């Protein structure tokens, strides 16, 4: 998939950025045609949840197509929870070097990814990129300076916290419960009731179709899928899709399959938009998950990491971990 090839190329880009900046007067470097970068991050997706890893339970044809037409990296490092993993992606540093190693950020926490850290979109901005983020941020929102529009992105449609309900877009955290769906700095009340994956897909397609392809695009799509939502409805999925997975005995796994199906459809629509805009051949597409799946009911989810050990936040092997999911 251009996915993992992109991981390697992005590493080269990031490592080479300071040299590019210092040599900004070099005419040859200025004239280099830079690729569009489309970075799609699934949330809490398990190893065994995708077809290209050998699973035939939940069809993922669009994700599989990326894998089979590109390069699959099966041995790269991510942190086991959201904020540390995303901070590493944005900074290129292990979380211990940015203070992001301990846990996930909650909405009211008075901290975020340190403001003295220059992050990926800020580097790309200096290289002429148009930077847009859709979906999840989860790197701080206590002050406006922590949020995406102050950190190198030109637009953001999505949410600041670690999760929300796919329909009502509220985030339930200890001691707090509030609406978290935004356009830039404004609360997007009009999106209440619309399915999050569809919102993020439509916005991504809109950005691609409206982009002037003579300028390189960095589009970061942080999906809520397949992360569980709030305790009152942990796996929100369209009923018509849930009904298609009657062969899956466990009902939570059936709902999870529907959520994943919407994610896979989103990947297909983004690729199709790149194709119709004649941007695909000049694009590097990365598809990854921020960490492994919270299987066996952990976090009210129903992901599967089989045959790998343990679950999200764990490297332990639990007996009969997956027996109730199939």
> Residues 122, 127, 133, 138: is their CA dihedral positive or negative?
negative
**Structure-block tokens of residue 315:** 């490297």
Show which residues are catalytic.
82, 138
Residue 205's closest CA among 194, 197, 193?
197
Question: What angle do the packed helices 196-209 and 251-276 form, to 10 degrees?
Answer: 10
| Rounded Cα gap, residues 210 and 276, in angstroms | 12
Measure the CA angle with vertex 80, ends 77 and 84; round to 5°: 85
Report how far residue 4's alpha carbon sits from residue 325's, in angstroms, rounded to the nearest whole number: 29
Rounded to an integer, what distance in angstroms lies between the CA atom of residue 123 and that of residue 14?
A: 8
d(CA 326, CA 317): 19
């Amino acid at each position: 998939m251009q996915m993992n090839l992109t991981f390697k190329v992005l590493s080269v880009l990031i490592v080479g950025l300071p040299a590019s900046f210092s040599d900004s007067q070099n005419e040859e470097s200025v004239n280099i045609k830079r690729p569009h970068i489309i970075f799609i991050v699934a949330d809490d997706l398990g190893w065994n949840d995708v077809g290209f890893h050998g699973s035939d339970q939940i069809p993922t044809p669009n994700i599989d197509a990326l894998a089979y037409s590109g390069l699959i990296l099966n041995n790269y490092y991510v942190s086991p929870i959201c904020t540390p993993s995303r901070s590493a992606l944005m900074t290129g540093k292990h979380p211990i070097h940015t203070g992001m190693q301990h846990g996930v950020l909650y909405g009211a926490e008075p901290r975020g990814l340190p403001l003295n850290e220059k992050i990926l979109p800020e580097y790309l901005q200096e290289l002429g990129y148009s930077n847009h983020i859709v979906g999840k941020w989860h790197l701080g929102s206590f002050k406006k300076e922590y949020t995406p529009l102050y950190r190198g992105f030109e637009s953001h449609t999505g949410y600041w916290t670690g999760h929300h309900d796919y329909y009502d877009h509220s985030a339930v955290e200890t001691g707090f419960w509030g609406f978290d769906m935004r356009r830039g700095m404004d609360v997007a009340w009009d999106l209440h009731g619309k399915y999050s994956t569809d919102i993020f897909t439509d916005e991504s397609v809109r950005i691609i179709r409206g982009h002037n392809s003579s300028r390189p695009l960095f589009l970061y799509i942080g999906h809520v899928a397949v992360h569980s939502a709030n305790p009152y409805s942990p796996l929100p999925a369209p009923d018509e899709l849930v009904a298609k997975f009657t062969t899956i005995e466990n009902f939570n796994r059936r709902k999870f399959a529907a959520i994943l199906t919407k994610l896979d459809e989103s990947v297909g629509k983004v690729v199709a938009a790149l194709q119709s805009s004649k941007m695909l051949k000049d694009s590097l597409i990365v598809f990854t998950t921020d960490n492994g799946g919270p299987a066996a009911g952990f976090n009210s989810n129903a992901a599967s990491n089989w045959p790998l050990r343990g679950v999200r936040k764990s490297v332990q092997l639990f007996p009969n971990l997956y027996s109730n999911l199939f």
